[in-house]
Amino acid sequence: MARRGHTLRAETPPHGAVPAGLAPLAPGLLRLARWRLLAMHRTAGVGHVGGNLSALDAMMLVHHEMLADADRFVLSKGHAAGALYVTLWSRGLITDAELDSFHTDGTRLPGHPPARGLPGIRFGTGSLGHGLSLAGGLALAARLQGREGRVFCLTSDGEWQEGSTLEALIFCAHRRLSNLTILIDHNRLQGFGTTDEVASLDPIGRVLAGFSVEIREADGHDLPAMRRALAPGTDRPVVVVLHTVKGHGVPAIEGRLDSHYLPLTEEQVQAAILGDAVLGTGENA
Amino acid sequence: MRRELCAALVARAARPDLVFLTGDLGFGALEPLRDALGARFLNAGIAEQNMIGVAAALASEGLEPWTYTIAPFCYARAFEQIRNDVCLHRLPVRLLANGGGYAYGVMGPTHHALEDYGILSTLPSLRIFVPAFDTDVAAVVEAAGGDPGPAYVRLGRGEVPAGCTAPPYAPWRRLRAGRGPIVVAVGPMAGLAWSAFADGTEDGPEVWAVSELPLSMSPPPRAFVEALSGRTLCVVEEHVAQGGLGQSLATWCLEGGIAVAGFRPVAAAGYPSGTYGSQSFHRRESGLDPESLRQRLSA
């Protein structure tokens, strides 16, 4: 086990048991959630789907296998609200009919998670750079109250350009909030370019290893690898760099910058659901 | 008011849920509180955005967080955390802001807080406290601590005129009766306005102190409403006119159909000479001194 923060691949500990009341995430359910996410975005005619697809696997894994009653989840990258809504739907906390209201007038499901009123969402987020402070506060609260419970915080990679995220990391590392696990959806694409083009922190795992945290890395679409990487930490916060693909599962938009904003076409959705890349417009369309 | 604040929070320290976070400020003043709270006193470092986000999360778990820093480092630096993390969720975070108005004097304009309660008055559910006198602080801490929503406390330097005794704390207080203009002063400006007219006759101004904002959460009392009609209204505040109590009260009068004989606001003018000095220097440049107030109402 690493005692000083550094990038760690081979030494990732075995994952813990699934808490009581939770069940292992079935690949079929994950596939169903992806289809529901695509259908929801297609119905709403809105974009931001690329960063939802890159984060969905991790969000589903955490919610289905790791998030017991005492635990907390903070979606710092609020633009992945669709993935969160679908994840909560997959756990029975949001109805199917309500998903159809996504992005419509009078909805409880706006483009970024709302502040109040939805089960499973403790904080409204969307302005990047807020979630890690909130997660750190939750982790600190558990310590002060003598409670068990892990806190998971899912950030984007671009949001590490926000100074407040680094303020939060300094705080969490200094306080040795070992009940905190920070997930970085490292899909390498942000709003108007790649993270390397805009303001590179690459390799982000090695950069953050300078803080007193435990760095782990995993393929963000490989469930067994994520299970290992998301195992509880020891004496300091755990940062899990998830190597992901923006638009994962939709061949026409995978790894493409425009998936950050542009809505899907019907053909793209069908191609993804049918698994037929030929129907899609292809990588270079 | 820092000493009084520290004493009030030490008295409250037995509450097991109370957590105090400071943005690396309080040296020479808050040590007794640090000793009383132990692990529940956290120096969050020079990172106000994080401090307030952390406090919001603590409140969401049922704890009672108080944050402390210099006023501009709170409302200006961390405005989005106050707006999103605290107020959108209506979480009971108590934001202690030291140095309202020009209180940091010749430390310079980065340390002044001239637009804090105007900006914060736009946020839902946030109650703003501006204690007028040192003796108000304990009651303000109790009121802010007991409020179910978020609170901002603007601390300054209480000034009671010689020979006067500050009345018990209340959101609105009449300090001086008089048949002349109605003078409404925010927070520590009350002592200054009181001293300006303390020696006057019964025909002099009636002076009120306001210590809670906005008007939607702390409306004027009936006695004020009854006194105001047909008289000149003068609002004195160490805050810019835009977004200040003067504008709020003017709108409130219009909406309520209250006809005043005149409106003479006196507000912080910024830095009209382009030079810097003590709090008194900046107040004088803005007409926020007893002699200027007397002239303003005699003109």
Mean pLDDT of B154-169: 92
Predicted pLDDT of residue A19: 80
For the cut 60, the answer to whether the pLDDT of residue A151 exceeds it is yes
Predicted pLDDT of residue A22: 86
Task: Tell me which H or E stretch contains B208.
Answer: strand B206-210
For the cut 90, the answer to whether the pLDDT of residue B162 exceeds it is no
Helix (H, G, I), strand (E, B) or coil at B3: helix
Interface contact flag, A134 B54, Cβ < 8 Å:
yes
CA-CA distance, A62 to A80, in Å (whole number)? 15
Its ipTM equals 0.95
* Residues in Cβ contact with B108 at an 8 Å cutoff, skipping those fewer than 6 apart: B276
Provide the residue ranges of all domains of chain A, joining segments of one domain with +. 27-274
> How confident is residue A268, by pLDDT bands cut at 50, 70 and 90?
confident
Give the DSSP per-residue string, chain A.
Answer: --SS----STTPPPPPPPPTT--PPPHHHHHHHHHHHHHHHHHHT---HHHHHHHHHHHHHIIIII--TT-EEEESSGGGHHHHHHHHHHTTSS-HHHHTTTTSTT-S--SS--SSS-TT--S---STT-HHHHHHHHHHHHHHTT----EEEEEESGGGGSHHHHHHHHHHHHTT-TTEEEEEEE-SEETTEEHHHHH---SHHHHHTTSSSEEEEEETT-HHHHHHHTS--SSS-EEEEEE--TTTT-TTTTT-GGGGTPPPPHHHHHHHHHT-TTTS--TT-
> How confident is residue A65, by pLDDT bands cut at 50, 70 and 90?
very high
Q: Which residues of A touch B40 (CB under 8 A)?
A: 144
Q: Which residues of B touch A137 (CB under 8 A)?
A: 53-58, 60-61
* Residues in Cβ contact with A166 at an 8 Å cutoff, skipping those fewer than 6 apart: A160
**Cβ atoms within 10 A of the Cβ of A116, count?**
12
Interface contact flag, A174 B45, Cβ < 8 Å:
yes
A70 touches chain B (CB under 8 A): no
Give the model confidence (pLDDT) of A95-115 as tens digits.
999 999 999 999 999 999 999
What phi, psi does A106 have (nearest 5°)?
85, 10
End-to-end CA distance of chain B: give it in Å, rounded: 35
For the cut 50, the answer to whether the pLDDT of residue A285 exceeds it is no
**Cβ atoms within 10 A of the Cβ of B60, count?**
22
Give the model confidence (pLDDT) of B76-129 as tens digits.
999 999 999 999 999 999 999 999 999 999 999 999 999 999 999 999 899 999
The amino acid present at A267, given as its one-letter code, is: E
Predicted pLDDT of residue B256: 95
A69 touches chain B (CB under 8 A): no
Could you say which residues from 109 to 148 on chain A have a Cβ atom under 8 Å away from some Cβ of chain B?
115-116, 122-125, 127, 129-130, 133-138, 140-142, 144-145
Q: Which residues of B touch A152 (CB under 8 A)?
A: none
CA-CA distance, B74 to B70, in Å (whole number)? 7
Closest residue to B84, CB basis, from A127, A138, A141: A127
Predicted pLDDT of residue B296: 92
Nearest 10 degrees: CA dihedral of A43, A46, A49, A55?
-90
Per-chain mean pLDDT for chain A: 89
Give the model confidence (pLDDT) of B118-160 as tens digits.
999 999 899 999 999 999 999 999 999 999 999 999 999 998 8
B218 touches chain A (CB under 8 A): no
Predicted pLDDT of residue A16: 55
Of the candidates A85, A161, A142, the one whose C-alpha atom is nearest the C-alpha of residue A119 is A85
Q: For residues B208 and B172, is the Cβ–Cβ distance under 8 A?
A: yes
Mean pLDDT of A66-83: 97
Predicted pLDDT of residue A281: 36
B240 to each of A147, A277, B113, B244, B288, how far by Cα in Å? 46, 62, 9, 6, 12
Class of domain A27-274: alpha beta
Give the model confidence (pLDDT) of A169-207 as tens digits.
999 999 999 999 999 999 999 988 999 999 999 999 999
Give the model confidence (pLDDT) of A29-57 as tens digits.
999 999 999 999 999 988 889 999 999 99
For the cut 60, the answer to whether the pLDDT of residue A68 exceeds it is yes
Could you say which residues from 174 to 233 on chain A have a Cβ atom under 8 Å away from some Cβ of chain B?
174
Mean pLDDT of A128-145: 98
**What are the structural domains of chain B?**
2-155 (3.40.50.970), 172-298 (3.40.50.920)
Q: Which residues of A touch B55 (CB under 8 A)?
A: 137
Q: For residues A90 and A84, is the Cβ–Cβ distance under 8 A?
A: no
Interface contact flag, B53 A137, Cβ < 8 Å:
yes
For the cut 80, the answer to whether the pLDDT of residue A277 exceeds it is no
Q: For residues B279 and B103, is the Cβ–Cβ distance under 8 A?
A: yes
> How confident is residue A5, by pLDDT bands cut at 50, 70 and 90?
very low
User: A14-18, A162-166, B279-283: lowest mean pLDDT where?
Assistant: A14-18
Cis? peptide before A203, omega within 30° of 0: yes
